[in-house]
Chains A and B, each alone.
Chain A
Amino acid sequence: MEHLLNLLIKAIFVENVIFAFFLGMCSFLAVSKKIKTAFGLGLAVIFVMILTTPLNYLILTYMLKEGALAWIHPSLANVDLTFLAFILFISTIAGAVQIVEMAVEKFTPALYNSLGIFLPLITVNCSILGTSLFMQEREYNFVETVVFSLGAGIGFFLAIVLLAAIRERLRYANIPAPLQGLGIAMIITGLMGMAFLSFSGIQL
């Protein structure tokens, strides 16, 4: 139990997808102009994350790994399909995003309109595919995968809402013209990353 809590804290703060790995920076920078939209996108990302990563774990364990196909026929025990991982992972994610998009459109049309193009673009949000790939590289088991994907999702949510809040305040700041917009957002993200570095080494 402690081990899982530790993994969750680590995924949220210490190895935050944005500040430690720069995953999902495109939508992070583009959708963080207003808190409300950032909030909606963050929730959508958490949801897609905890849906797709465990799904990808099951695909990896029961279809792709060496010997995983033995349950069909013993002669398939030597088949190793891990090189197909990229294609299958991204297909799962694209499918899940499609479902989320339809659900959001039906139940909260206002959020759907404000997210606009960025909802389908969750498919190409690096943080989602990145979490699946980290799951594969670090060889988590199923429970760990669920906890890790939840942590990564919350980490993204936290980061994007924080940046949106700072950028709303920045509208009243006097920034040199060439630095406005993207430049200052980058530097602020860097400063926030330094703040998050202070979490490193925390063990529960």
Chain B
Amino acid sequence: MAVETAPAPVVEKKKEPLFSKKNIRTLRDPLDDNNPITVQVLGICSALAVTVQVKPALIMALGVIFVTAFSNLIISLLRHSIPTRVRIIVQLIVIATLVTIVDQVLKAYMFDVSKKLSVFVGLIITNCIVMGRLEAFALANKPWPSFLDGIGNGVGYGIILVVVAVFRELFGSGTLLGYQVVPQWAYDMGYVNNGLMMLPPAALFIIGIYIWVQRSWNKKLINVS
């Protein structure tokens, strides 16, 4: 049977330090200039529904960082031996295995959070970030930069998740991580929690505004779409 292999990238012989400038850039770019959610438009899917409170958002972010980092690492290690034609299936199997690990760990040690996240842990599999980074980066790069790229993108995703969750929990229920932040006297004077923040559309508004602020700040992102 004819087996097609991915075209091997030109191997650079020069040995570079573990945290060379290029590697740092790989790690840092996804945090702002190349953020997976607001710039690459990947992985909005499973993200927003878990942002009503900060705690599930943090756990979800950690899960995604774990999955992106290690799936990038594994696929990058295997990149010369995966036939191009079946690579999607191979990638899905690797991702699904890692997600199963995350899901089982959550069920065993944090059952209440696992219940709250419900199907969204499983949906990390179809989170476009993971797949997108495998296709765009891990298939053509060495394991260590791929690992860093995975961590960078996971963190870039996590930042958005936590920012949205902080806004929604603070204005929606007056708490942060479950601790009361808005003091009682404010309620006595007539302050009311914003019920809209608890509803799904609020997440979309916050991301929309985040994109607006980010692009006004960083003009070169305009019209990247």
B-contacting residues of A (Cβ < 8 Å)? 19-26, 29-30, 83-87, 90-91, 94, 120-121, 123-130, 133-134, 137, 176-187, 189-191, 193-194, 197
Q: Chain A binding site: helix, strand, loop or mixed by DSSP?
A: helix
A187 & B45 in contact (Cβ 8 Å cutoff): no
B175 interface residue, CB < 8 Å from A?
no
Whole-angstrom CA separation of A202 from B216 in the bound complex = 41
Q: Chain B binding site: helix, strand, loop or mixed by DSSP?
A: helix
B201 & A125 in contact (Cβ 8 Å cutoff): no
Set of chain B residues within 8 Å of A125, measured between Cβ atoms: 45, 126
Interface centre among B45, B89, B225 (most CB of A within 10 A): B45
A90 & B96 in contact (Cβ 8 Å cutoff): yes
Set of chain B residues within 8 Å of A19, measured between Cβ atoms: 200-201
Set of chain A residues within 8 Å of B122, measured between Cβ atoms: 85-86, 129, 133
A-contacting residues of B (Cβ < 8 Å)? 38, 41-49, 88-89, 92-93, 96-97, 99-100, 103-104, 118-119, 122-123, 125-128, 131, 199-205, 207-209, 211-216, 219, 222-225
Interface centre among A20, A134, A183 (most CB of B within 10 A): A183
B44 & A123 in contact (Cβ 8 Å cutoff): no
Whole-angstrom CA separation of A87 from B215 in the bound complex = 38
Set of chain B residues within 8 Å of A23, measured between Cβ atoms: 45-46, 123
- Which residue of A24, A84, A181, A190 contacts B201 across the interface (Cβ within 8 Å)? A190
A182 & B38 in contact (Cβ 8 Å cutoff): yes
- Which residue of A121, A137, A182, A187 contacts B118 across the interface (Cβ within 8 Å)? A137
Set of chain A residues within 8 Å of B204, measured between Cβ atoms: 22, 186-187, 189-190, 193
B123 & A126 in contact (Cβ 8 Å cutoff): yes
**Would A26 and B45 be within 8 Å (CB), given that A129-B126, A133-B119, A178-B215 are in contact?**
yes
A126-B127, A186-B204, A190-B208 known; 12 other A-B pairs, CB under 8 Å? Answer: A22-B44, A23-B46, A29-B44, A83-B104, A90-B126, A121-B128, A177-B223, A180-B223, A182-B225, A189-B204, A193-B200, A194-B199
Whole-angstrom CA separation of A94 from B126 in the bound complex = 11
27 contacts between A and B (CB under 8 A): A21-B200, A22-B204, A25-B44, A26-B41, A29-B44, A83-B103, A85-B122, A86-B103, A87-B96, A87-B97, A91-B93, A124-B131, A126-B45, A126-B127, A130-B123, A133-B119, A178-B211, A180-B223, A182-B38, A183-B211, A186-B211, A187-B204, A190-B203, A190-B208, A191-B201, A193-B199, A194-B201
